[in-house]
Amino acid sequence: MKISIIGTGRVAHHLAQKLNLVGQTIVQIYGRDLVKAQALADRVAAQGITDYASLQSVDLVVIAVSDSAIADVIDKVHRYIPDSLIVHTSGSTELQVLSQKHQRSGVFYPLQTFSLQREIDWLNTPIFVEAVVEADQQALNDLAQQLSDRVYIYSSQQRLSLHLAAVFACNFSNYCYDLAKQIIDQQQVDFSLLYPLMLETAYKATQHEPQHMQTGPAMRGDKKILNLHQAMLSQQPELQRIYRLMSDGIMQRHHSEQSSEAF
């Protein structure tokens, strides 16, 4: 396949390099900043561009930009590449955002957290594809199978539910790690002491029903410890509010009849 990518962020970086690695031809990388576009293009033997009018007709154009920018991008680019299959990489954006402007539209959504500092385990990363045209959907499915062993054809609504769940499982949990580090940094405690606990918690959640793996004072309904922790956070009202909100949620999930008695 001849492929061009619109975007120079984390998803664009990882996807461009992986597609190039499996033998696909990356033709162009579009970015608003030519230095960034050319830097990524140089890694995959492509051309860096900053003008949508310079886009060449290729087999596939991947829009790898922020969700809020997708509608604006398709509005600007579809006229220049009318025959190309155009996809976005978003879990929360409906296919219709593209298809209302461009017939050959699709989705190529890797369910993963991307950062420039770490390589991606593509083989185990779920990829979700969808397209308006059946032949395009098959082409996307075939392409995804070159990257991953876990490829699925999901609707926009199914992807949206996954994206919401991923925010809880990934973004919110990472924020909790950040909060945990803030707490122990105040007492000059080594954050790495929590690593075994963090890893074991994540492992158990992948092997069993998370509901059944819940532990802690809220799960036990231990009002003495809950109140102690709240008191410790008295000078940090935002942390205290989050602690109480999450503790209430756990108690309502596991023993709602006792939740009104806590604190």
DSSP for 87-156, written as a single string: EE--SSS-THHHHTT-SSEEEEEE-S---TTS---GGGS-EEEEESSHHHHHHHHHHHHHH-S-EEE--H
Single residue among 139, 154, 169 that ends a domain in this structure: 154
Sorting pLDDT into bands at 50, 70 and 90, what band is 227?
very high
Do 19 and 149 fall within a single domain? yes
In the predicted structure, residue 248 carries a pLDDT above the cut 60: yes
pTM of the model: 0.82
Encoded tokens for 222: 């231990």
Co-location of 124 and 170 in the same domain: no
Q: Does 144 lie in the same domain as 164?
A: no
Lowest mean pLDDT among 20-24, 136-140, 217-221, 259-263: 259-263
Q: Let me know whether 74 and 186 are in one domain.
A: no
CB-CB contact of 93 with 73 (8 Å): no
Looking at residue 24, which CATH number applies to its domain? 3.40.50.720
Segment 46-74 shows an average pLDDT of 97
**Are 123 and 29 found together in one domain?**
yes
Tokens describing residue 192: 């790495």
Query: What is the average per-residue pLDDT within 149-177?
Result: 94
pLDDT at 34 > cutoff 50? yes
| CATH code for the domain of 195 | 1.10.1040.20
- Tokens standing for residue 196: 């075994």
Q: Which two tokens stand for residue 228?
A: 């102690």
Q: Is the pLDDT of residue 246 over 80?
A: yes
pLDDT band at 52 (very low <50, low <70, confident <90, very high): very high
- Give the pLDDT of residue 87: 98
Q: How confident is the model at residue 122 (pLDDT cuts 50, 70, 90)?
A: very high
**Nearest partner of 85 among 162, 140, 164, 20, judged by Cα:** 140
Same domain, yes or no: 130 and 68: yes
- Domain final residue, candidates 106, 130, 154: 154
Average pLDDT over residues 72-76: 97
What's the mean per-residue pLDDT of the chain?
94
* Run of H or E residues at 251: helix 237-259
Q: What is the pLDDT of residue 118?
A: 86
pLDDT at position 257 is 45
Conformation bin of residue 101: beta by default, left when phi > 0, alpha when psi is -120 to 50: alpha
Same domain, residue pair 234 and 133: no
Total domain count, the chain? 2
Residues 139 and 224 in one domain: no
The C-alpha atoms of residue 19 and residue 144 are separated, in whole angstroms, by 10
Distance in angstroms (rounded) separating the CA atoms of residues 245 and 12: 36
- CA atoms of 35 and 48, how far apart (whole Å): 8
263 pLDDT more than 50: no
Burial class (CB in 10 A: 0-12, 13-18, 19+), 230: middle
Q: How confident is the model at residue 255 (pLDDT cuts 50, 70, 90)?
A: confident
125-161 confidence digits (pLDDT tens): 999 999 999 999 999 999 999 999 999 999 999 999 9
Statement to judge: residues 92 and 174 lie in one domain: no
| Shared domain check, 122 and 23 | yes
113 and 181 together in one domain: no
Q: Pick the last residue of a domain from 123, 139, 154.
A: 154
**Sheet containing 85-88: which strands, arranged edge to edge?**
47-49, 25-30, 2-6, 60-63, 85-88, 105-110, 127-131, 151-153
pLDDT of residue 106: 97
Tell whether 133 and 22 lie within a shared domain: yes
List the domain range (segments joined by +) for residue 217: 160-259
Burial of 134 (0-12, 13-18, 19+ CB in 10 A): exposed
At 256, is the pLDDT very low, low, confident or very high (cuts 50, 70, 90)? low
Contact 16, 26 (CB under 8 A): yes
Q: Percentage of the chain surpassing pLDDT 70?
A: 97
Judged against a pLDDT cut of 90, whether residue 113 lies above it is answered with: no
